[in-house]
Structures are given as structure tokens and as C-alpha cells.
Structure 1
Amino acid sequence: MPEHVSILLWFGVVLPAALIFFCAVGLAGYRFGLRFEIRRRQPGGQRLPALPAQRSAGPHREYVELTPAERAAFAGLMRQLSDGY
């Protein structure tokens, strides 16, 4: 240690560097540990009990036949909307 450098200056450099290093190591360990815990906790077939079961197929489609007047009104609406852009 050079004689012209005081102890307080060394603490001002070494202490923050050590804190940053240990925080980085701790956060990395926490991150990797959490990732492994998530993998262990959720095997492939396990479902969450709070969510309802999902249907394998979607709902049936409904189809309504439009009258000629309704088709003309819909076509007019589409023309009005497309003219704005």
C-alpha cells in the first residue's frame, strides 16, 4: 500500500467494489435458484386449480343470413369507414 494513500481512501474504493461484487453474486444466485425452482414446481401435466379447465375446441360459429337491405347498409358503412383513411 503506497504511503501517500490514506486508509479512508482505500475504504472508499474497496468497500463499494466489494458490495457491488457481493450484490451481483447474490442476485445471480437468486435468479438461477428461482429459475430452477420454477422448473421443479410446474411439471408438464399439472394445472393451476384456480383456473377453469380449457375447452379443446372453440365455441360453435353462429351464422345469420342478412337481408338485401342489411347487406346494403353494411356495405355503405364499410365505404364510409374506408373513405376516412
Structure 2
Amino acid sequence: MPEHVPTLQLIGAIVLTLIGVAWAIGVMRLLRRFRAEALRELPAVRLPALPPQPQAGPPLESVELTPAEEDAFAGLVRQLGHH
């Protein structure tokens, strides 16, 4: 214990620190509980200014490559794989 600090002042600082830690833990628990409850109770919110989004993406596209294009692509992959 430092010599220049009175005992009551040191005890007061420790008590205030413990109270602050307990308060912070209590607030975090309350926020976590209320956030979980709010997420369970809220329906999916729609923004009226945005148009409805499609449920599926665009159709997949594919392109047939010639043997020369396949070789060039394989060479590019090998070249990029070494770096």
C-alpha cells in the first residue's frame, strides 16, 4: 500500500472500481437479453422505398472453350499458381 494514500481513500477507490465493474457486467447482460428478445420478436422489416428483390439469381451461363483456349487457360493457371 502506498504510504501517501490514506487507507479509507484506497478502500474507497477499490469499492468504486468493483461497483463500476459490477454495473458494466449488469448493463452488458441486460443489453444482451433485450437484444435477443427484440430479434426474436421483430418480423422481417421491409423498406418501402426499395423494390422487392428477386429470390433467385440470374441463370448460370457457360461457354464452350476450344482446345487452344483450354490450353491457354491451363497455362495461365499454372503461371499464376507459381506466384
- In the TM superposition, what is the alpha-carbon distance from 1:44 to its structure 2 partner? 6.3
Identity in percent: 33
Q: Give me the whole-angstrom Cα distance separating, in 2, the residues matched to 1:44 and 1:64.
A: 47
1:73 Cα deviation from its structure 2 partner: 0.9
2:67 is aligned to: 68
Q: How big is each residue's C-alpha offset from its partner over 1:8-51, in whole Å with a ceiling of 9 and x where there is no partner?
A: 61233111111111101110110111011112211267224359
Structure 1 residues 61 and 33: alpha-carbon distance in aligned structure 2, compared to 1, 3 A threshold = same
Classify 1:49/1:77 alpha carbon distance in 2 versus 1 (closer, same or farther; 3 Å).
Answer: same
Cα separation, 1, equivalents of 2:54 and 2:10: 57
What corresponds to 1:24 in structure 2?
21
The normalised TM-score by structure 1 is 0.67
Find out whether 1:39 has 2:36 as its counterpart: yes
Distance 1:60 1:45 in 2: 33
Where does structure 2 lack aligned partners over 5 or more consecutive residues?
none
Cα 1:79–1:48 change in 2 (3 A) is: same
Q: Say how many residue pairs are matched.
A: 76
Q: Structure 2-normalised TM-score?
A: 0.68
Cα distance 1:65–1:44, how it changes in 2: closer, same or farther (>3 A)? farther
